[in-house]
Amino acid sequence: MSRPTVSRPTLARYGPALAVAAALLWLVGYPLLLSLFEALGIGGAGAGFTLAHFAEFAGRGDEWLALWRSLWISAASVALAALVGMPLAFLFERADFPGRRTLGALVVLPVALPPLVGVIAFLFLWGESGFASRLIQAALALERPPWRLQGPAAILLVHGYSMFVFFYLFVRAALARLDGAMLEAAAVLGAGRARTFFRVVLPQLRPALLGASLLTFMTSLGSFSAPYVFAGGYRVMTTQIYASMSNNRIGTARVEAVVLAVVALLALVVIRRLQGPDAVAAGHGVAPARRQTARPLARAALTAAAAAAVAFLLLPHATLLLISLAPADVWTVELLPPELSLANYRDLFSEPERLRPMLNSLWMATAATAGAVALGLAAARQALRLGGRLGAGLEGLVALPWAIPGTVFALALGTAFSVDRPYLGRFVWVGTAVILPLAYLVRCLPITGRAILAGLRQLDPALEEAAASLGAGRARAFARVVLPLLRPALVAGLGLAFITALGDFVTSIVLYTFTTRPISIEIQTSLRVQEFGAAAAYGVLLMVLSATVFMVWGRGEEA
Amino acid sequence: MNDDAPYLELRGLYKRFGEVEVLRDLSLELAEGEILALLGPSGSGKTTALRLLAGFETPDRGAVVVGGDEVTALAPAARGFGMVFQHYALFPHMTVYQNVAFGLESRGQDRRTIARRVDAMLELVDLGGFGARRVSEISGGQQQRVALARALAPEPRVLLLDEPLSNLDPALRERTRRELREAVREVGITTVLVTHEQEEAFHVGERVAVLHRGRLEQVGRPEELYALPESRFVATFVGRASGLKGTLASFHDGGLAAVEIATGTGGSVRWRGRRAGELAAGRPAELVARPESLRLADAGGPGTLPGQVVERRFTGALAYATVRLENAAEIEVLIDAGAGVDAGDPVSVEPRAGALPFSVFPVEDE
């Protein structure tokens, strides 16, 4: 006998969704709103609603200049990244030559450098006293270094180097998905190579190109490490915010943050609009065959070109490794370090004060990742269960921290959690061990949430229904059916979130305390006191960890 | 040009991929305006033949000749052929109109000519007024017709169809097949259709070439292939047929051969069929029978093969019985739809008088 089914009370039905929504609003929406309110003089210690801070912003030329620089540098970064990434994507996807697979996998390694680590690697390689400039100086017997790595050119160089990977990966994937019959159809219809490229191939790469542009633009807009290290007095919005905070002009900083957040969201909306709906191929065809070159000389030339590109892209990694092996105080004027040893690494692990940041980073990244996975999983499940506008709203909250520059979010969290008003959900967490893991969690939420959402969307809902029909309760169906199938997505999200948290610099520099200082802060400190070997050694550790995660992730993607 | 001269010729096309010979000296001739179907199972080389025709592959040997011009080495774009792809390969970012206009624009025609031609082609495939639609907004059958219109728009010399109906659901397939055939006939274009479906080949093709393991097995009108198969492969691949192995007993007048087949109960029967292939008396031979050439007889009658019905298959107008003979062969027999035959019934099978003759093939040592 089965009892008649009773529709469950509304609270039980919407309860979990409400709980998740509340948590997301508290961690993501609330701090941003509080910053906005305080920038408007509401709720803070100030005298009530005022537009004075905004008026001040509007009246100052240096603010507009910083905003303009942020925008044009982001746009130029997109162009530069496309210019590097697209040809590489075509080379590795459409041509065939010995070593294509291996070299094609190595090309993406610039992503394995966390932002600050990439920046210092560039400094050691291309900076005034870096390898490259020393080499040229010595070769040409110049009195001074041939160039100085600073200002917008330096920022753009770093951006182009680290962000071309977006274009490379997106365009390669799109090229692989292209229906080979489409190219043949164009050929039968009399189109030459150029016409086929411009009329058939390029339009189909549009979603990929816009996707990569969006990622590059948003990343550049929020980029902090490169402008912080290279720009000197050349301020962009992120460094402007940081400078205002450092000079104790917190009101100004909040207005700057609001402006940058609004600009970022606007950019997001505009680029998304341009993207439009994907033009999906009618039939699922077979990817076009790679262009075969029979002449051995041409094949060798392709391999050589690809290898040269990869070698060039891996120079920063090599530089970092070499400097990490140069003991302190033995290397002054020589072109290459006179001796190599593991002394820097030994110090890292034997001196408690040097080990501390590593342990800090490890536990904070672990805690943040666990939180981001749990919250991401709960939010993704509820978003899909609710569907419609409510579901989309949850998804939007999960994705929001991605669109907001890290500096802005750090400031917002600092604003929200520096006041003791528990009944308003505000606690004094700034200056404690809670704030950095929390900040990392929020920053990683889009990464885990996105991966889990994608994983859940691929699951056949009939599987859970099948489990239910076989008598499994919700918990059992989730544990035995959903979780195992979700594992690849979970692992991917987890890995990426972990290395993002581990290498974070932009939120750390705003919110760290001496006892909770993470690796990136220690790198910056080492740099300031000229302990390059130690900085490089930290960098190498981060780089190796990141590369490992990417490699595991890449394998998961292929499977 | 001489009316009898072939318009499209495949001369000894040979192609191998690595160690695999995918096409072994394929020669075919098509008259102008003729529709030829290349029929074969997957791996038979039919798709390779089409790709050699289109110019996507180059043959290791052999030539493709159109209207007296050899085009073997020409690039696809220079051949003036039209092609409909298996998954259509419509350009998803263009409208229906833009897709159909693409080939005309490639040839640098002026806009007015293009517009007129595109409209005419869309009318031909019954899609007038669909020009502004995106290809993702129309149904699978409509996409198929757009693909045909696009291929025909530049007035190609030869039309190539690569499994053009395989993407459609069965209900739609028959109607689209008829429309495709009518459109192609109306245009009167020399056409090569590649398919693995016999029904499609027979319906659309005026002649059918059967390919097997890269070799041409037989080419002819559908009726010829069905009634007079030249190889055992054609006999069993085209239409339904069952084989009965035995020994060639004797030859008879009119090219008939008698095969002695063991009944499985100690005796044997002698059934006659048309000779196909190199036969020798006393050698193993196989008699291939279509279901309609056989009938059920009373159990144990003279000249019959005894067995037991294992399955009765009702298809509507017709019904078939699958009989497992005492000699272990399994054989399909056409029966009356109303006949009271059921699985498990003991029966005998005999030739149906006046029906299509059996075919007798030599049994290859393998």
- Flag if B83 and A184 touch (Cβ within 8 Å): yes
Q: Which residue has the tokens 């709203």?
A: A393
Mean pLDDT of B249-269: 86
The residue whose two tokens read 């991966």 is A451
What average pLDDT does the segment A432-438 reach? 92
Cβ distance of A190 and B135 shorter than 8 Å:
no
pLDDT of residue A519: 92
Smallest CA-to-CA distance from B222 within B206, B233, B241 is with: B206
Inter-chain contact A280–B136, Cβ cutoff 8 Å? yes
Distance CA B348, CA B326 (A): 10
* pLDDT tens-digit readout, B27-73: 999 999 999 999 999 989 999 999 999 988 899 999 999 999 999 98
Tell me the two tokens of residue A36: 């906005």
How far apart are alpha carbons A357 and A363 in whole angstroms?
10
The C-alpha atoms of residue B26 and residue A442 are separated, in whole angstroms, by 66
pLDDT of residue A559: 37
Lowest mean per-residue pLDDT among A491-495, B71-75, B306-310: A491-495
CB contact under 8 A, B89 and A206: no
What's chain B's length in residues? 366
Residue positions counted in chain A? 559
The distance of A99 to chain B (nearest Cα, Å) reads 21
What does DSSP say about strands B319-325 and B330-335: parallel, antiparallel, or unpaired? antiparallel
pLDDT at residue A131 tops 50: yes
A53-281+293-324 homologous superfamily: MetI-like (1.10.3720.10)
Q: A70 to chain B, minimum CA–CA distance in Å?
A: 34
Q: Do A283 and B167 touch (CB under 8 A)?
A: yes
Contact B85 A285 (CB under 8 A): yes
Instruction: Report residue A553's pLDDT band, with 50, 70 and 90 as the boundaries.
Output: low
CATH 1.10.3720.10 residue ranges for chain A: 53-281+293-324, 353-559
Contacts of B92 in chain A (CB under 8 A): 204, 279-282
Q: What residue in A sits closest to B51 (Cα-Cα)?
A: A184
The answer to whether residue A9 scores a pLDDT higher than 50 is yes
Contacts of A188 in chain B (CB under 8 A): 54, 76-77, 79, 81-83, 103, 151
Tell me: pLDDT of A272 over 50: yes
Q: What is the mean pLDDT of residues B85-103?
A: 89
Q: Chain-wide mean pLDDT for chain A?
A: 86
- Whether A555 shows a pLDDT value over 80: the answer reads no
Indicate whether A391 pLDDT > 80. yes
Q: Residue B77 and residue A188: Cβ atoms within 8 Å?
A: yes
Residues A334-375: pLDDT tens digits?
A: 777 778 888 889 988 888 888 899 999 999 999 999 999 999
List, in sequence order, every residue forming a beta bridge with B30; answer none if it has no partner. Answer: B8
Which residues in chain B touch residue A200, judged by CB atoms under 8 angstroms apart? Answer: 91
Mean pLDDT of B244-269: 87
* A189 contacts B89? CB cut-off 8 A: no
User: A190 vs B88: CB contact, 8 Å cut-off?
Assistant: no
CA B195 to chain centre: 6
Query: Which residue of chain B is at minimal alpha-carbon distance from A203?
Result: B93
Q: How far apart are CA B362 and CA B278, in angstroms?
A: 6
d(CA A32, CA A37): 9
Contact call for B88 and A282, based on CB within 8 A: yes
Is B87 in contact with A181 (Cβ distance < 8 A)?
Answer: yes
Check: CB of residue A323 under 8 Å from CB of residue A118.
Answer: no
| C-beta atoms of B102 and A189 within 8 A | yes
Q: Which residues in chain B have Cβ-Cβ distances shorter than 8 Å to A275?
A: none
- Give the residue from A446, A448, A454 showing the smallest Cα distance to A404: A446
DSSP H or E run through A133? helix A131-140
CA of A186 to nearest chain B CA: how many angstroms apart?
A: 8
Of B76, B93, B135, nearest to A188 by CB-CB distance is B76
- Residue B255 is classified by DSSP as G
The answer to whether residues B216 and B28 touch, using CB atoms and an 8 Å cutoff, is yes
CA dihedral sign of residues B46, B52, B58, B64: positive
Per-residue pLDDT reduced to its tens digit, A72-105: 999 999 999 999 999 999 999 988 888 898 998 8
Tokens linked to A52? 């004075």
**Calpha distance B43→A319 (Å, rounded):** 54
B216, pLDDT greater than 90? yes
CA nearest A189 in B: which residue?
Answer: B103
Please name the fold of domain A353-559. Answer: MetI-like fold (1.10.3720)
Both tokens assigned to A181: 């019959």
Q: What is the pLDDT of chain B when averaged over all its residues? A: 90
What's the sign of the alpha-carbon dihedral B65, B70, B73, B79? negative
Q: Any idea of the CA torsion for B15, B21, B22, B23, to the nearest 10 degrees?
A: 60
B315 interfaces chain A, CB cutoff of 8 Å: no
Q: Which residue's entry shows tokens 């050694």?
A: A537
Q: What 3-state DSSP class applies to A409?
A: helix
pLDDT in tens, B344-365: 889 999 999 888 889 999 987 5
The CA distance from A264 to the nearest CA of chain B, in Å, is 29
Structural domains of chain B, with CATH: 8-231 (3.40.50.300), 240-362 (2.40.50.140)
H or E segment to which residue A215 belongs: helix A202-222
Q: Is B218 helix (H, G, I), strand (E, B) or coil?
A: strand
**Residue B71: both structure tokens together:** 């085009």
The radius of gyration of chain B's CA atoms, rounded to the nearest angstrom, is 25
CB–CB contacts below 8 A, A to B:
94
Instruction: Kindly indicate the confidence band of residue A4, based on its pLDDT and cuts at 50, 70 and 90.
Output: very low
Instruction: State the average pLDDT over residues B115-128.
Output: 93
How much is the pLDDT for A8?
54
Cα–Cα distance for residue pair B46/A272, rounded to 1 Å:
45
For an interface test with B, the pick among A179, A189, A197, A206 (most B C-beta atoms closer than 10 Å) comes out as: A189
Show which of residues 73-132 on chain B sit within 8 Å of chain A, judged by CB atoms. 75-77, 79, 81-83, 85-94, 102-103, 106-107
User: How far apart are the C-alpha atoms of B306 and B298, rounded to whole Å?
Assistant: 9
Q: Which of A190, A204, A279 sits opposite B107 (nearest CB)?
A: A190
For residues A216 and A166, is the Cβ–Cβ distance under 8 A?
yes
Q: Which helix (H) or strand (E) holds B132?
A: none
- Pick the residue from chain B with its C-alpha nearest to A185: B89
Question: Which residue type, as a one-letter code, is found at position A392?
Answer: A
- Asked whether A308 and A106 are in contact (CB, 8 A), the reply is no
Confidence of residue A332 (pLDDT cuts 50, 70, 90): low
Q: Which of B54, B88, B103 sits opposite A190 (nearest CB)?
A: B103
pLDDT of A45:
59
Q: Averaged over A522-533, what is the pLDDT?
A: 88
The whole-number pLDDT of residue A157 equals 92
Q: What percent of chain B has pLDDT over 90?
A: 66
Distance (Å, whole) CA A254 – CA A416: 12
Q: Do A191 and B86 touch (CB under 8 A)?
A: no
Cβ contact B190:B34 at 8 Å: yes
The token duo for A374 is 């749990």
pLDDT value, residue B341? 85
Residue A277 confidence (pLDDT) above 70: no
Q: Select from B87, B93, B134 the Cβ nearest to the Cβ of A283.
A: B87
Cα–Cα distance for residue pair A385/A453, rounded to 1 Å: 11
pLDDT at A38: 84
User: What would the DSSP string read from start to end of B9-52?
Assistant: EEEEEEEEETTEEEEEEEEEEE-TT-EEEEE--TTSSHHHHHHH
pLDDT, residue A46, reads 59
Give the residue among A110, A114, A135 at the shortest CA–CA distance from A124.
A135
Give the pLDDT mean for A141-157: 86
Query: Does B137 contact A at CB distance below 8 Å?
Result: no
The Cα B151–Cα B136 span in angstroms is 18
| pLDDT at residue B330, rounded to an integer | 93
Instruction: Identify the residue whose tokens are 């699951």.
Output: A459
Identify the three-state secondary structure at position B242: strand
Torsion, CA A487, CA A492, CA A496, CA A499, rounded to 10: 60
Q: φ, ψ for residue A69 (rounded to 5)?
A: -65, -45
State how far the Cα of B227 lies from the Cα of A243, in Å rounded to an integer: 92
